[in-house]
Structure 1
């Protein structure tokens, strides 16, 4: 980190930069814009409807790098506790009005945001790809999902229901829900826009206000979202976006007594820290979606001629989409021994053909993450695992301006107790192991501290239910992956988190319920 250069953070400079970057909606325009900058891009906070020049002087800056080139992309403030509290108070002030708006008013705002995001789809996709390292095609998919988040909740709140009960001859009772207050919304770096909007959309739909903090590794799409919220004329203070790291900015945000709830997606250790920091604040709503080390069970019948292509395709996409940087990736593949050799050979051929670095596989998000993944691959060599595909990438120096590119790796002969089978590597690395029967498959699937998601590949209808209902995971996909209806509960078991979001489950997070009793006479 370094101190600020205040000349780059004047209100005029911030507005001029915002106007210019908003026109960079192609890869070529974005590259030209980046190359034309005499100094790194400076990203401000978005508070009370304004791009905010730095309040605290001097303020430390965080460097954020382009994963595809390794070069410095932008600088952003490591927002201190005093400025975090200022943003929270703006959200608190906005809550007094926003919480009283009608559902139709809120729906109209959400629809406007969704429409604007659709209109500027390519702008967000281009910068999401540059900032996170993912392919442009993958970025477009995630922008589409962000659009759906706002669209879905814009209609969901128009059809809410409540429950009434009669105490015969005595009273009528009914449930009434009201917005829970000001929320801290903290999103990770792997799907920056999609997961941030997955929190913002229901938060404001149910009448709450927010202070959102994206990852310091990938803050560009959050910055652009702030510009879009302003264009959508969302009332000032309803959504505030502050930038910074976890220990300084994030910690101050979740611990503030003026925050009524926290929705967090990220690592398990950070989730534990949030639980500890808020343990004395019993009233605070917590929704924590944490890590995963997800199993993918392949039964012999799934390799029948009619379905083997589908099986290979699903297993490969669940392992390597977005460079394996999806919390729901199936990175532990277990295959029934009768088809084990055939499966290993065919998925290796498929991945080598379909998942090509710099074409269909992007760069991993940061040098720190590159080094982490590289360390696990070095460990695989030391443990004498077999590399069916991939290898150890070269060591990189941060001053070399090289992108963070790692080829997909398929490992076999990995011991069940190895950390390669236990830790969330969160990269383009998958292990494949055999199992003998259904009982062993379920045991292996559940042999993890995590319980976020799982995939079951089989043609046996009874097994789909029998195995699916025994796997200790919040989300189980059978013969598909990453398919979601936004009303279904999203969240994990065990150390993969607590709470659920989606449809009525998001309503539980962002509202409080009280029961009214009305006498019958």
Structure 2
């Protein structure tokens, strides 16, 4: 199965994947996906409706109720998912370039992080499902044990900031534990999801096990995916506002939801930190992924004894960031996803000025030759704000850092927790006792100490507060994507 193209081979024609075949939208309507580097047209995409989503649910339901996938052993599914991972790796360069052109992600990150991590997600969960143990409790003539049958049909709604990697973070465990799935990729970034569906079928994934429906939220595609009683699980990554709507939609059917939502994570640097580590990791903590990272350390708290030195070094490092065409390996910061988001980011910087903040560096759209048609915003460093300012409290989701001073450990912890989000945190200190004290009281789903973006997939991932509900990863994914069943058997005495 190959991707359709229009008369211009650079412009792709993206259709749904339903029941193992390419499917036209019921209405025949399409929308465009464009390159955020120069706003050029990349493809025309099927605009799904509630009817398209319902057809996908029916295909996934049939594949679960009557197909082989849920009835395979974990080792049989493991073999197929490894084949899918092999296919991803053998098409790494193609997928990386699609991701870069569709999302603006720099090619080095797509090539060396996101696409390899997609393959690793598949391998990890395929192996985890095949090797996971079950509890058994013998007690005299009673034997009690646990089964983990698949939950059923999974709706997976993925975001645009790490399109294929986060889609695979949902699909890999859902499929490994025997479910069937419908993926709704973000409308801004459909290309890699569409290609992934083709590669999965080529690798031997049975028809109907993975369905992909393109389109928008609200009452369109997302409507049936969150309200249909034939859907057994919903996994979502995106904004808190959308997550709340999904939880409300799922409530009448009591459909379990795992939702990883927004973030405004604190990054705390103590005066005993190794600045040769803290500065570059803090730069990554806000500017990686073009600043469009849900767990970005976007509230940077620095102990006042080192604040002048840290701010000078941090600002200098921010000004060394190479903003440019994401297809160029020399680029370290690419464009934002679209004009509307560019306007939002710029609006928050203007708000920071109105709130009394000082823009130490950046603070403007980039209109240099070759970049003027794209959605580029300069790496921005802001000082002089309080933690209660809107700029420091609300999620900007862009390359904008607020730097705030603090005096004591207790103050740093209070500032970190004084925010409705609780997705992640960063901590830089050489005091091991302090690190343990801080992380035990920090309201965040993940805390990195003297590092950033290091992930062991056995650990839980998710957030507290307005950053979401539920956890995924390792055993936490198994609990969500299965229906744990207790069995107690009385053993009859011998005759």
TM-score range, shorter chain: over 0.9
Q: 2-side partners of 1:62 and 1:208: how far apart?
A: 30
Counterpart pick for 1:126 among 97, 111, 114: 97
Counterpart in the other structure of 1:94: 63
TM superposition shift of 1:252: 2.2
From 317, 335, 349, the counterpart of 2:316: 349
1:31 matched to which residue of 2? Answer: none
CA deviation string 1:109-161 (max 9, x = no partner)? 11001111111111100010000011100111100111110111121122111
Alignment of 1:94-243 (within 5 A): 94-96=63-65, 97-140=68-111, 141-167=113-139, 169-243=140-214
8 Å CA contact 2:266–2:301 kept in 1: the answer is yes
Deviation digits for residues 372-424 of structure 1 (CA, Å, limit 9, x no counterpart): 1111112122223111110232799xxx9810011100000113221111111
Aligned length: 481
- Separation (CA, whole Å) in 2 of partners of 1:16 and 1:289: 33
Correspondent of 1:472 among 443, 446, 460: 443
RMSD (Å) for aligned C-alpha atoms? 1.8
Q: 1:301 to 1:206 in 2, by over 3 A?
A: same
* Corresponding residue of 2:328: none
> What is aligned with 1:5?
none
Q: Which of residues 238, 259, 269 in structure 2 aligns to 1:266?
A: 238
State whether structure 2 residue 305 is matched by structure 1 residue 338.
yes
Q: Is the 8 A contact 1:319 1:428 kept in 2?
A: yes
Q: Secondary structure, in 3 states, of the residue corresponding to 2:386? A: coil
Matched, 1:379 2:351: yes
1:80 is aligned, of 45, 49, 56, to 49
Do structure 1's residue 255 and structure 2's residue 198 form an aligned pair? no
Could you say if the C-alpha distance between residues 207 and 272 of structure 1 is closer, same or farther in structure 2, counting changes exceeding 3 Å? same
Does residue 1:489 correspond to 2:460, yes or no?
Answer: yes
Contact 2:227 2:249 in 1 (8 A): yes
Q: What are the Cα deviations for residues 429-451 of structure 1, in whole angstroms up to 9, with x where unaligned?
A: 01000001000000000011000
Q: Name whichever of 356-365 and 140-149 sits farther off.
A: 356-365
For the structure 1 residues 395 and 78, does the alpha-carbon distance in structure 2 shift closer, same or farther, using more than 3 Å as the test?
farther
Q: Name the CA distance, whole Å, in 1 between partners of 2:115 and 2:348.
A: 31
> Is the aligned partner of 1:311 residue 2:283?
no
How far apart, CA to CA, are the structure 2 residues paired with 1:417 and 1:108?
A: 52
Asked if structure 2 preserves the Cα contact closer than 8 Å seen for 1:215 and 1:244, the reply is: yes
Bigger mean CA offset, 469-478 vs 414-423: 414-423
Task: Indicate the residue corresponding to 2:377 in structure 1.
Answer: 406
- Pick closer, same or farther for the CA change 1:457–1:271 going to 2, 3 Å: same
Q: Is contact 1:328–1:482 with CA below 8 Å preserved after alignment?
A: no
| 1:278 partner SS | helix
Ranges in structure 2 where 5+ consecutive residues have no aligned partner: 326-330
Tell me the TM-score normalised to structure 2 length. 0.94
Gapped regions of structure 1 (runs ≥ 5): 1-14, 21-33
2-structure distance, mates of 1:232, 1:192: 21
Counterpart of 2:365 in structure 1 is 393
Counterpart contact for 1:320–1:355, Cα < 8 Å:
no
